Structure 1
Amino acid sequence: MSVMTDRPHMLTEEFESVARTVAREVEGLRLEFIDGKLGVKAVPDGDHDRIMVWLARICIQHRPELWLHVERGIKVEQYGSGRARPDGSLAPDDAFEGQGEWADPAPVRMVVEVTSYDSDTDRRDRKEKPRAYAETGIPVYLLIDRDKCLVSVHSEPDGQRYETVRTVPFGKDVELPAPVGFTFPSEPLKEWVR
């Protein structure tokens, strides 16, 4: 007879060790640790990268004191037991100085994910990450969903989930609430989907 527990499948320290080894040994493979489970993040394609460059330019035009840090490892979930690599983390340019591979998320104003064309996108980007980012208290989660041609803005985290989710189709203006606080057009996103 086995006893079920709430213990994660792996401890955070074990994950960090495995992630370091994989990063050295396997080119292009990135690991994440969300909700006590090991996950693999797809390597971005060229259109994914183009979206991130485009969004970085928009962010710097509207919020020059902030920087869209790409692929920055941050501690997520309650008590910081999870580890994620958002496609982008909007934070002050010096927010992660002196920190290791997995940084404190406190200065992050917004995280960004751009969906990849893989089988885990639905579970990872639409379910697990919004919950983990809300638990962490990150004020805004921006999801650019290339599969559905939608942009979703999650805001007002309550420690378990985001209370507000606004979704617009590509082509409409996207309003980012405080503490980000600007609006941008999403029309160009139509060019970077398959």
Structure 2
Amino acid sequence: MTLLERMAESTPFNKDLFLEGIERGIRHLHSLGIVHNDINPYNIMFDELDRAVIIDFDSWQKNGQEFGRSKGTSGWMIEGAEYSLFENDIFGLSKMQEYIYNPSSWDPLNPLGMSTSAKSSQTSTSPTSTGGLRDVSDPFGTAPESPVDGDKQNITTPVPATAQGEGKTKQVLGLGQD
């Protein structure tokens, strides 16, 4: 059963633990230099123990590659992204957090109508504009074995909004304090 189906059923589950499972899956992919590029409720399933399982790898690419024909799902990806970067998955995870903790904010006919836009007004000031090697470490502190060449980056991913979960404030990705 996908997260979308489970949310439609309104069957309770441990949201914090589920998001942590998605985060662990993304960390693993990033440690291999892989970007899923399509983290959304259609592509996360529950196993028999209610653990998160990332599925549908038709948009995956190595970190730093320019997108080909397959990109992520509109509303769940950084709008205008041209490259497969770790930040694409982090953005998708932040949107998942919003969806899980505030499902009424999500309209399946207008996924861009969520509380934060898939666009960011900030641009990267990274040394990549000089055309050199860039630091490919992701926000989890993992990095593939070799740097990636490239002269462009996607727009900066906004920090996930704070979510209210089970009586305490939490932030996915370990960017905040419990």
* TM superposition score category, shorter chain reference: under 0.3
| Greater relative contact order (Cα < 8 A, sep 6+) | 2
| TM-score of the pair, normalised by structure 1 | 0.25
